[in-house]
Amino acid sequence: MTTAPAERFALRLHKVSKAFGGVQALNKVNFEVRAGEIHCLAGENGCGKSTLIKVVTGVHQPETAELIELFGEKVDRINPVQARQMGVSVIWQDLALFPHMSVAENIAFDSLVGLTPRAVRSRDMMARSKAVLESLGVQLDLAAPLQDLQIAQRQVVAIARALMNDAKLIFMDEPTASLTQSETDRLLDIVRKLSANGVAIVFVSHRLAEVLDIAERVTVVRDGNLVGVYPTAGMTQAHLGELMTGQLIETEVTARDRSDAPTVFAAENLTRHGEFTDVSFQIRAGEVLGLTGLIGAGRTELAHVMMGMRQADGGQMRLNGASYRPSNIRKAIAQGMAYVSEDRLSLGLLQKQPIADNTVISVLRKLTTATGLISERRKAEMVRHWIRELGVKIGSPDDPISTLSGGNQQKVVLAKWLATDPKLLILDSPTVGVDVGARAGIFRIVRALADQGLAILLISDEVTEVMFNADRILHMADGRLVAEYDPRTVTVPELEEHIYA
């Protein structure tokens, strides 16, 4: 009689706890990943996911732990160097690569770093880098500077660097956040190939559809506590969102007919050479107009022209019935335009500055007294108003904006623009890096603003976002508007088929 082999685990954590000050980041959490498994770690921002990863990689030491086991070996204390030597690798969302170094140098970097200086054999480095890329089915110019590569190619370089270091367990943090659908599909194919070769993958993503597509199991953590471990087979996005937040996340069509409302903004044959051509559309008061399509379709470039950040080469724009052609963003704001950028970290917020300063930075003139100084009383009143109005969760208004979660940072960006009393609000990919619960909160705010008469342009490459939050949907492809859809008469699969065709 033969005995079935014991199940092999890449990682086992039992009752791991970690606190920071008075905050319990992890409370007796269990987490197990099988060898070669694609496993999702899910939860809202601040739930403890990053802390868990940093415990595994030796960045943080837990206060208590019944068991920490890597590849069958029990570990009492581990540091980042030991974790990497044992085969653990993390690919963070910012990738931590070197833009001015070559592709090969980035791939080989970890293997070249040591305690003693040594000569680098360029030929060996190129050969080993090429072999790793070939194992992934990818070809890249090894001599090219990393900064010349697209973000999807940089993701592959980060994976190749992990494999060069003989990684057997790879944590991937939001790996598809900045990728197009086709790029995402290619990356997921590479992840499946890694799994087939015995590499365990822990996938962290706010995109629930791809989580359910790629992972075999999902571990859900909420407020530092383990909610449970679930097979993805039969799991729905709605149920997973409910497990993550403890609330039922409604996904229903909210579209309304706003055709009788006055037109706030109109574009006619708007063109900017090399970016978009003959774009014509209208946005009405109280309407949420969705604009979707693949990344690179010209959506953000169109928003930049609407905000005066770039100039059109042809066509016309009208705002509240009057000719509109702002020469810069200040003039656009003065005429009632507001823009929430897709890149809140570098364009939307001043990360080192206080929450209060970020909230009022766009309306400093409103707060200035006759002496030319900012009234601290008016400033405090405005900050309190918007924090209360948008439900921003903060410690103190004087805390750096970087202390807030992604969802709360995005609410501060909204507050900054709403303080200008806009007539048209452009939301460009407003939920990138924002967890499912915070997304729902942001879109409740968006709907409430529309109900108050604000015209809103919602730009997103996530079909479900425009499907469930827009009144009309425009599809942009290759710099042109190619179709318009009514969310009440089209389904998500039909919309995806048109957009991703």
Instruction: Report domain extents, the chain.
Output: 9-245, 250-336+422-501, 345-421
User: What is the C-alpha to C-alpha distance for residues 11 and 71, in angstroms, rounded to an integer?
Assistant: 6
Q: Convert 152-174 to b/e letters by CB count within 10 Å (16 or more is b).
A: bbbbbbbbbbbbbbebbbbbbbb
CATH code linked to domain 9-245: 3.40.50.300
- State the DSSP code for 48: S
Q: In 171-326, which ranges are continuous DSSP H helix?
A: 181-196, 208-214, 237-245, 299-306
User: What is the C-alpha to C-alpha distance for residues 165 and 187, in angstroms, rounded to an integer?
Assistant: 20
User: Residue 362: what pLDDT?
Assistant: 72
Q: Which helix (H) or strand (E) holds 134?
A: helix 122-135
* 8 Å CB contact between 441 and 362: no
User: What is the C-alpha to C-alpha distance for residues 189 and 183, in angstroms, rounded to an integer?
Assistant: 10
250-336+422-501 under CATH 3.40.50.300, yes or no? yes
User: Residue 102: what pLDDT?
Assistant: 92
The closest alpha carbon to 165, from 86, 69, 91, belongs to 86
DSSP secondary structure of 299-325? HHHHHHHHTTSS--SEEEEEETTEE--
SS3 state of residue 201:
strand
Q: What is the pLDDT of residues 96-108, one digit of tens each?
A: 889 899 999 999 8
User: Residue 442: what pLDDT?
Assistant: 82
User: Residue 345: what pLDDT?
Assistant: 53
pLDDT along the chain (501 residues), means of 10: 58 93 87 96 85 92 91 89 91 85 89 60 86 89 90 89 91 80 84 93 86 93 93 88 79 89 97 96 97 86 94 96 94 91 61 77 72 78 80 80 74 82 89 73 87 93 88 95 95 84 66
* 8 Å CB contact between 136 and 160: yes
Q: Give the CA-trace dihedral at 472, 427, 279, 490, to 10 degrees.
A: -20
Joined together, the tokens standing for residue 277 give 């051509």
Q: Please give the model's pTM, rounded to 2 decimal places.
A: 0.67
With tokens 């004087």, the residue in question is 398
User: Residue 471: what pLDDT?
Assistant: 96
